[in-house]
Amino acid sequence: MRFDTLYREKRRSPEDAVRVVKNGDTIVVPTGVAEPPKLLEALSAQRREFEGVTVSQILPVRKYDYFDPETVRHVRHVAYFFGGASRPGGQEGWVDYRPSYFSEMPALIERGLMPADVVFSLASPMDEHGWFSLSLGPDYTMAAIKKARAVVLEVNPNVPFANGNCHVHISQVAALVESEDPVFEVGLPTIGPVQQAIGKYVAEMIPDGATLQIGYGAIPDAVVMQLTDKKDLGVHTEMIGDGIMTLVEAGVVNNRRKNYLPGKMVATFGLGSKKLYQFMHRNPALEMHPVDFTNDPYLAGQNDHLIAINATMQIDFLGQCGSESQGVKVYSGTGGQADFVRAANRSRGGKAFIVLPSTAKDDTISRIAPVLSPGTHVTTSKNDIDYVVTEYGVAQLRGRTAHERAKSLIAIAHPKFRDELTEAARKMRLMV
The residues annotated with a catalytic role in the active site are 238
Sign of CA dihedral 61, 62, 63, 67: negative
Sorted by sequence, the CB contacts under 8 Å of residue 165 that are 6+ apart come out as: 138, 142, 287, 288, 289, 290, 293
For 362-404, the three-class secondary structure string (H helix, E strand, C coil) is CCCEECEECCCCCCCCCCECCCCCCEEEECCEEEECCCCCHHH
Q: Within 13 Å, how many C-alpha atoms sit on residue 1's CB side? A: 0
- 8 A C-beta contact, residue 206 and residue 234: no
What span, in angstroms and rounded, lies between the C-alpha atoms of 65 and 95? 13
Of 225, 257, 240, give the one whose Cα is nearest residue 347: 257
How would you class 205 by CB atoms within 10 Å of its CB: exposed for 0-12, middle for 13-18, buried for 19 or more?
Answer: middle
Phi, psi (rounded to 5 degrees) for 40 = -75, -30
Tallying the residues shown for the chain, one arrives at 432
- 8 A C-beta contact, residue 212 and residue 234: yes
Rounded to the nearest 10°, the torsion over CA 339, 61, 114, 293 is: -40
